[in-house]
Amino acid sequence: MVIEIDFNSDEALYLQLRNQIIMGIAADRFREGDSLPSVRQMAESVGINMHTVNKAYTVLKQEGYVKVDRRRGAVVAVDADRLKTWEEIRRQLKVILAESSCKNISKEEIHQLVEEIYEDYR
């Protein structure tokens, strides 16, 4: 899977990595049971430190996106506990919708944008 890190972004490297992996799972580029590249492999291929990758993987594990197998490394295994996710999603959406609302982006445009993004995940 192609992962691109923007070193000029204000977003932390490990978060960029985390986000791209989650988007990769959503887009089915990573499937249940697939192994992620080892921390060392990923670090080299992306051009960042091993510990930064390790932090991303650790976060992904804590959030229930991967499980770690001693021999196979980080394996995609989504633990679908909606409840923990739900409030967090709601909290973030609330801020985004406030921003867009202030900037005259209509509710309908948001719905359309959601549709658009879901198209890309297909």
Partner DNA sequence: TGATTGTTATATTTATATTATAACAGGCCC
Partner DNA sequence: GGGCCTGTTATAATATAAATATAACAATCA
Write out the residues near its own copies by the rule CB under 8 A: 19, 22-23, 25-27, 64-65, 78, 80-82, 85-86, 89-90, 92-105, 107, 110-111, 113-115, 117-118, 120-121
Which of 8, 94, 86, 18 is CA-nearest to residue 55?
18
CB of 87 to DNA, least distance (A): 21
Residue ranges of alpha helices (H) inside the chain are: 13-26, 39-46, 50-62, 82-102, 107-120
Residue 75's H or E segment, with its range, is strand 73-76
CB of 72 to its own copies, least distance (A): 20
For 68, phi then psi, to 5°, come to: -110, 125
> What is the footprint of DNA within residues 79-98 (CB under 7 A)?
none
Q: Is 35 helix (H, G, I), strand (E, B) or coil?
A: strand
> Would you say 11 and 53 are in contact if contact means Cβ atoms under 8 Å apart?
no
Q: Which does 41 bind (CB under 5 to 8 A by kind): its own copies, DNA, none?
A: DNA
> What is the footprint of DNA within residues 5-34 (CB under 7 A)?
10, 12-15
Binding site for DNA (CB under 7 A): 10, 12-15, 36-41, 48-52, 54-55, 57-58, 61, 68, 70-71, 73-74
